[in-house]
């Protein structure tokens, strides 16, 4: 039901998928994929040549006759340039989708990228006013895929009018592109709606809505007007909908009565999925006579801040002009703003990208700053912005929305020193409710008291949730319950329920929960206290539970030691369970900030290395650091701590950072991004072949992330290499990009994502994706992994390009052949080969490849072909069922290894099967040849009968013809079972033989 509140019970979990769309297959497979696995994303490059017509439609306002869901598949998603988001209509004819180009233009070409639910009959039309339409092209026998239509016309509005659907579903477009040239004509004025300058001493940022009353033109169900002014971002007002068509009306309004006149200067609106594209803000002193204060046009939802000249008013009215969707309007919050003293939360110490908040600052001013950053970072997936919010001890009432490259931390000694009351931390409205691209953001070292009892952290990779006290529950799904691909929690206490219904995998370490519910494929818990899903017989449920984690040290954190800044380094622990702070302060060492070099964006590698050589630790404030020499961390015990996803880009083919083979070094919170000139590695720990015992004081890595492609066509041989013995890896995402800029098999090249040469290395929370050879290659002895998530490269062009000798493809996780001891728990690998077709399948022989020796033990593994895009022949070393087909069903192996495996003896028997025509019917001739030196028993089994032969002598044949009793048969297979003796041991060997189809 559109715009219903969050359900009290989980919805049916969608088939989890990831970031790129599927390739087009046969009609049946395409449709099944559309239903089960649509939504994979990859940006598309417009097809226009550089000197050809201009792409006019991208990012322009769009509307449609209907949408499949209130929280996704909106009209604008067909014009956003992202081939993984899409518009989908309801399943009825006719339907339409149109774009407003903003001014009149000549139209030369229209390109349509259909999802599985395509239009068989449709028209392309133009209009100058959005009312009277002229048809430029009519299609009557469309077959989906990509349609390119050369047209000749002009207009401001371009519409696809669907007459006949090609399937039983609606219409669904990945992209709708309009090419031509602007022809001049009126352009709608757009009033500024950006947040005002926060340095203005009288900025428009004080919320005076608390205690106000609200009325509206209508309401849907219990979505009352009062819920738009209740200071709760989990409740909302919604205008009325037609209960048959689920459509709303444009001319709706919401009115706020402040109780008395105030000097108002703006409004802040937090939209649900059904937003207002065009609307007016009106003011009144008596509730009867209204004056227009501002007009907002061509808005796109999310958070709007509309400012205007300060005016005395008691009543503020939002007046809808045009909806952004076919539904009505739906607001979480409408806040009336007045001028107020702004704050400057930046400091000279930490630079312009770190905001330090304290309880003396007005919550409205803090909210304004958070909203300003979020508006910039919500969708800026590969941009340069990097930000850190620091909350000093105290209580705050703000809605802490966190976008890309944004970290939010408390700076008390304990998480309970800072309490943030509010809601709406991380959702996925920017991506249609799909959380699979909610990367690169974090929260740490504070308490959350959510408005409605449930905080939201709908994230995927590289989004750690550390050292948090949640006073209530924690929702790991988006509000639309879209796909999600997380995730990581550590040293956290959740007093209520954690819900992860759509998360395809998750790792939680050394934490406490009231209860945990949900999970799709691979949920792993180590050292977690509380009521967890019962790990009965894996994979039902798909849960791996370890009582303790092992040897680990928690991540260092910046905090205030009294009035002085310091970095706290927790102590090394063994046999860990629960949080480090449940019985008091976390044990460890405080390091004064005076002992750190505080780097800011623009500082050079030479300056950083000079400080490190002088004995300083390193605090990297948010920013992008392009380094022309390797950052060398050589001193034992050095702490390198990044804030706000500080990013290191090695230039000129260098290595970003090298850590010496010394005791006690810590590197935390750094993103390494490959440059266009190939590097041998981005991050190297220790020196190969140097095996120094660090077990008493190991090197520890926390929240260290690799990226190859996405921002540029980065290149690296092996992204991350660990040579030092005893290294502890605490949460890594090593990602060769599958979407963004510079993406392609020959563009963002990288063979290996994570290479371990050191002995006794432990990895807790290892995410490695899309590398072109082994994603993970483990050469060291006595390695240990708890939780592994992988996707194989999407962009394999064909099987020939992805061969490892005679082996098809490269395993996701490879333990080198000579390794004697290795153990891992909870591992998953997924395929989505976008070049895979039914005619040219791409196969990987196994997701995991390990030595067959007693000391190598692998627990709870799965492989899955996403929508049938590719084939896993087996799970590990030829063991485990084949994974393929459009239904996205994993193949599992609960345990492999622990014993020396000697290949079983086999009989040397050959088999052939041939079809032929006899008297107008098909006959199948099967022959078995005994190549052994001793007699064997032979059984021939076919679809048309069986035949047994006793004691077939060595070198002799056993043959039989079987009548199919039909004039035509399809291709198929038969088997020959031979039983004999090898070295005194009874042996049975089954030999398959395929035969061609034949028509007589």
pLDDT in tens, 769-808: 999 999 999 999 999 999 999 999 999 999 999 999 999 9
pLDDT band per the 50, 70, 90 thresholds, residue 982: confident
pLDDT band per the 50, 70, 90 thresholds, residue 388: very high
Distance CA(392)–CA(396), nearest Å, equals 10
Signed CA dihedral, 468, 473, 477, 478: sign only: negative
**Structure-token match 């039989």, residue found:** 960
Higher pLDDT, 303 or 560: 560
381: left (phi over 0), alpha (psi -120 to 50) or beta: alpha
Q: What is the mean pLDDT of the segment spanning 317-326?
A: 94
pLDDT band per the 50, 70, 90 thresholds, residue 202: low
Alpha-carbon Rg for the chain, nearest whole angstrom, is 31
**Which DSSP symbol is given to 83?**
T
pLDDT band per the 50, 70, 90 thresholds, residue 46: very low
Nearest alpha carbon to residue 735 among 710, 755, 756: 710
Distance CA(583)–CA(956), nearest Å, equals 78
pLDDT attached to residue 199? 37
pLDDT attached to residue 84? 79
Cα 63 to chain centroid distance, Å, stands at 27
pLDDT surpasses 60 at 541: yes
Sorted by sequence, the CB contacts under 8 Å of residue 773 that are 6+ apart come out as: 751, 752, 804, 810
pLDDT surpasses 60 at 961: yes
Cα 556 to chain centroid distance, Å, stands at 26
Higher pLDDT, 569 or 539: 569
Higher pLDDT, 984 or 621: 621
| Coil, helix or strand at residue 887 | coil
Annotated active-site residue in 499, 791, 873, 932: 791
pLDDT band per the 50, 70, 90 thresholds, residue 424: low
CB 735 within 8 A of CB 699: no
| Coil, helix or strand at residue 618 | strand
pLDDT surpasses 70 at 20: no
Lowest mean per-residue pLDDT among 58-62, 436-440, 552-556, 661-665: 58-62
**Structure-token match 């990859």, residue found:** 42
Q: Which domains does the chain have, with CATH numbers?
A: 41-182 (2.60.120.260), 203-340 (2.60.120.260), 391-478+485-540 (no CATH), 594-897 (2.160.20.10), 909-999 (2.60.40)
Nearest alpha carbon to residue 400 among 353, 366, 362, 350: 366
Q: What is the mean pLDDT of the segment spanning 599-610?
A: 97
Identify each DSSP E strand in 481-563 by its residue range: 488-490, 493-499, 505-509, 512-517, 522-526, 529-531, 543-546, 552-553, 557-561
pLDDT surpasses 70 at 190: no
Q: CB atoms < 10 A from the CB of 997, how many? A: 11
Distance CA(404)–CA(75), nearest Å, equals 24
| 791 given a catalytic annotation | yes
Query: Average pLDDT over the chain, rounded to whole?
Result: 89
pLDDT surpasses 90 at 476: yes
The predicted model scores a pTM of: 0.70
pLDDT tens digits, one per residue of 698-738: 999 999 999 999 999 999 999 999 999 999 999 999 999 99
pLDDT band per the 50, 70, 90 thresholds, residue 74: confident
- Tokens in use for 922? 């098909």
Q: What is the mean pLDDT of the segment spanning 594-617?
A: 97
The CA angle 890-892-893, to the nearest 5 degrees, is 165
Secondary structure (DSSP) of 35-51: HHH-----B------TT
CB 921 within 8 A of CB 967: yes
Nearest alpha carbon to residue 278 among 238, 257, 236, 306: 306
Distance CA(888)–CA(907), nearest Å, equals 37
Peptide linkage before 541 cis (omega within 30 of 0): yes
Sorted by sequence, the CB contacts under 8 Å of residue 9 that are 6+ apart come out as: none
Distance CA(65)–CA(949), nearest Å, equals 70
Nearest alpha carbon to residue 270 among 421, 424, 389: 424
Rounded to a whole number of angstroms, the distance between the first and last alpha carbons of the chain is: 56
**Residue 670 burial by CB count (10 A; 0-12/13-18/19+): exposed, middle or buried?**
buried
Q: What is the mean pLDDT of the segment spanning 902-931?
A: 88
pLDDT surpasses 60 at 35: no
pLDDT attached to residue 184? 54
pLDDT tens digits, one per residue of 105-135: 999 999 999 998 999 999 999 998 888 889 9
pLDDT band per the 50, 70, 90 thresholds, residue 695: very high
pLDDT surpasses 50 at 27: no
Nearest alpha carbon to residue 485 among 519, 461, 465: 461
Looking at the chain, the whole-number percentage of residues with pLDDT higher than 70 is 92
Distance CA(847)–CA(878), nearest Å, equals 10
pLDDT surpasses 70 at 436: yes
- Tokens in use for 844? 């990987």
**Residue 852 burial by CB count (10 A; 0-12/13-18/19+): exposed, middle or buried?**
middle
The CA angle 252-258-264, to the nearest 5 degrees, is 90
CB 203 within 8 A of CB 65: no
pLDDT surpasses 50 at 633: yes
Sorted by sequence, the CB contacts under 8 Å of residue 127 that are 6+ apart come out as: 133, 134, 155, 156, 157, 159
Q: Which helix (H) or strand (E) holds 594?
A: none
CB 931 within 8 A of CB 955: yes
């Amino acid at each position: 039901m559109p715009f219903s509140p969050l359900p009290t019970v989980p919805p049916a979990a969608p088939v989890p998928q990831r970031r790129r769309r599927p390739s087009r297959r046969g009609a049946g497979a395409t449709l099944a994929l559309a239903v089960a696995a649509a939504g994979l994303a990859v940006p598309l490059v417009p097809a226009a040549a550089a000197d050809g017509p201009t792409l006019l439609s991208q990012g322009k306002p769009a509307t449609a006759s209907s949408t499949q869901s209130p929280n996704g598949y909106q009209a604008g998603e067909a014009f956003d340039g992202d081939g993984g988001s899409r518009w989908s209509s309801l399943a009825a004819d006719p339907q339409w989708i149109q774009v407003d180009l903003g001014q009149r233009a000549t139209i030369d070409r229209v390109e349509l990228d259909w999802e599985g639910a395509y239009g068989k009959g449709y028209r392309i039309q133009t209009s100058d006013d959005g009312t009277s339409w002229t048809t430029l092209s009519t299609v009557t026998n469309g077959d989906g895929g990509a349609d390119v239509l050369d047209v000749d016309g002009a207009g401001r509005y371009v519409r696809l009018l669907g007459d006949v659907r090609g399937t039983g579903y609606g219409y669904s477009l990945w992209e709708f592109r309009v090419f031509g040239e602007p022809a001049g004509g009126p352009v709608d004025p757009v009033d500024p709606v950006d947040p005002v300058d926060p340095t203005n001493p009288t900025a428009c940022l004080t919320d005076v809505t608390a205690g106000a009353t609200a009325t509206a033109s209508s309401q849907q169900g219990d979505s009352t007007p009062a819920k738009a002014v209740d200071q709760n971002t989990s409740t909302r007002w919604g205008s009325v909908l037609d209960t048959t068509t689920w459509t709303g009306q444009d001319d709706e309004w919401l009115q706020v009565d402040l109780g008395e006149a105030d000097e108002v200067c703006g409004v802040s609106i937090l939209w649900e999925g059904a937003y207002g594209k065009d609307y007016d803000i009106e003011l009144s002193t008596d509730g009867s006579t209204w004056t227009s204060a501002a007009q907002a046009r061509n808005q796109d939802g999310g958070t709007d801040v509309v400012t205007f000249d300060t005016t005395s008013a008691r009543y503020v009215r939002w007046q809808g002009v045009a909806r952004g969707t076919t539904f009505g309007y739906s607001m979480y919050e409408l806040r009336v703003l007045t001028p107020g003293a702004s704050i400057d939360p930046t400091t000279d110490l930490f630079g312009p990208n770190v905001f330090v908040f304290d309880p003396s600052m007005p919550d409205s001013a803090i909210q304004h700053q958070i909203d300003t950053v979020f508006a910039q970072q919500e969708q800026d997936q590969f941009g340069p912005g990097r930000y850190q919010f620091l909350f000093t001890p105290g209580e705050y009432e703000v809605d802490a929305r966190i976008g890309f490259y944004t970290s939010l931390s408390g700076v008390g000694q304990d998480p309970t020193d800072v309490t943030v009351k509010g809601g709406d931390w991380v959702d996925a409205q920017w991506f249609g409710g799909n959380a699979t691209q909610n990367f690169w953001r974090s929260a740490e070292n504070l308490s959350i008291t959510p408005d409605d009892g449930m905080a939201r952290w709908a994230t995927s990779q590289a989004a750690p949730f550390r050292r948090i006290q949640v006073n209530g529950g924690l929702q790991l799904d988006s509000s639309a319950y879209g796909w999600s691909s997380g995730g990581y929690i550590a040293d956290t206490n959740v007093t209520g329920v954690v819900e992860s219904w759509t998360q395809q995998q998750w790792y939680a370490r050394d934490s406490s929960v009231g209860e945990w519910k949900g999970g799709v494929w691979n949920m792993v818990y180590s050292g977690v206290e509380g009521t967890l899903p019962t790990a009965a017989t894996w994979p039902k449920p798909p849960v791996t539970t370890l009582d303790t984690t092992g040897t680990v040290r928690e991540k260092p954190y910046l905090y205030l030691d009294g009035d002085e800044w310091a970095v706290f380094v927790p102590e090394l622990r063994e046999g860990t369970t629960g949080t480090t702070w449940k019985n008091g302060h976390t044990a460890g060492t405080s390091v004064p900030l005076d002992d750190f070099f505080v780097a800011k964006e623009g500082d050079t590698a030479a300056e950083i290395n000079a400080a490190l050589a002088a004995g300083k630790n390193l605090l990297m404030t948010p920013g992008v650091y392009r380094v022309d020499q390797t950052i060398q961390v050589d001193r034992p015990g050095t702490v390198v701590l990044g804030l706000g996803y500080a990013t290191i880009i090695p230039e000129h083919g260098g290595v970003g950072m090298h850590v010496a083979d010394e005791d006690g070094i810590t590197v935390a919170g750094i993103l390494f991004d490959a440059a266009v000139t190939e590097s041998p590695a981005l991050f190297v720990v220790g020196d190969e072949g140097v095996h120094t015992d660090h077990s008493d004081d190991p090197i520890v890595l926390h929240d260290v992330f690799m990226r190859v492609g996405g921002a540029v066509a980065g290149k690296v041989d092996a992204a991350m290499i660990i040579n030092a013995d005893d290294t502890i890896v605490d949460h890594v995402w090593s990602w060769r990009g599958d979407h963004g800029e510079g993406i392609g098999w020959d563009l963002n090249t990288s063979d290996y994502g994570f290479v371990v040469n050191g002995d006794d290395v432990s990895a807790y929370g290892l995410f490695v994706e899309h590398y072109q050879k082994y994603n993970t290659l483990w050469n060291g002895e006595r390695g240990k992994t708890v939780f592994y998530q992988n996707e194989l490269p999407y962009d394999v062009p064909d099987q020939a390009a992805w061969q490892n000798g005679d082996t098809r493809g490269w395993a996701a996780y490879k333990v080198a052949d000579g390794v004697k001891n290795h153990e891992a728990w909870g591992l998953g690998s997924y395929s989505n080969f976008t070049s895979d077709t039914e005619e040219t399948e791409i196969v990987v022989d196994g997701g995991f490849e390990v030595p067959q020796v007693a000391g190598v033990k692998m627990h709870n593994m799965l492989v899955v072909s996403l929508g049938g895009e590719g084939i896993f022949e087996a799970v590990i070393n030829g063991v485990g069922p084949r994974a393929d087909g459009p239904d996205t069903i994993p193949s599992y192996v609960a345990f492999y290894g622990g014993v020396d495996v000697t290949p079983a003896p086999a009989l040397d028997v050959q088999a052939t099967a041939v079809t032929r025509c006899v008297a107008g019917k098909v006959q199948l001739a099967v022959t078995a040849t005994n190549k052994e030196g001793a007699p064997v028993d032979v059984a021939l089994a076919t679809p048309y009968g069986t035949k047994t032969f006793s004691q077939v002598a060595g070198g002799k044949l056993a043959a039989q013809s079987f009548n199919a009793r039909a004039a035509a048969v399809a291709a198929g297979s038969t088997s020959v079972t031979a039983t004999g003796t090898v070295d005194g041991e009874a042996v049975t060997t089954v030999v398959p033989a395929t035969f061609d189809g034949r028509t007589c």
